[in-house]
Amino acid sequence: MKRNICLFVMSAFVLIGCATSFSGLEPLYPKAGHPKFPTTIESLQPTFRWKPLPESDVTYDFVIYQCIISVVKFRGGEGVTRTVGPEIYYREGLKEAEHKIEESLKPDGEYYWSVRKRIGQNVSGWSLYNYTLVLPTGVQQATNLPFLFKTPKK
C-alpha cells in the first residue's frame, strides 16, 4: 500500500509543468508569464525588449493595450477575467529591438503589449503567446494573447 501511494505522489510531480510558445517575436522584457499573474515591471516608463531579427532592413511596430479586468461570480466564489482593451500607445518603424515608452503608464495598472516586424510594405501579425499549465487536477490554457504586465504601485 505504501508503495502505491509513493508512486501516485511521484507521478503527480511528474505531471506538473507549464509551457509557453510564441507566434511572432519573443518578448525579453517584460517576459510573458502566467496569464492570470502579470509580471510586475519596475518603472512607469519602461523599456520593452524583444528578440531581434537578423534582417538588416527590418523595423518594428510596438503597441500597448489597456487590460480590462472583470470580477466574475461563480458557484462557490468569484474570480477575475482579463481581456484586451483599447490601444493606448502605438509606435511604428522602430529600428531597434527595444523601445522606451515616451508617456508614463498609470501606477498599479495592468496592460498588454505586443510587437510585430515590418520589412518594406510587408507587415507580420502581432506577436502572441500560448500558455499551458498541467496539474494533476487539470489543465489551464490561454491562447493567442499579447504579453501581460503590471506597473508598480508608485
Grid cell 462557490 is found at 76
* Overall pTM > 0.85: no
Q: What digits encode the pLDDT tens for the residues 60-105?
A: 999 999 999 999 888 888 888 899 999 999 999 999 999 999 999 9
- Strand-pair category, 39-40 with 47-50: unpaired
**Cell numbers given for 73:** 461570480
**Cell numbers given for 81:** 477575467
**Cell numbers given for 10:** 511521484
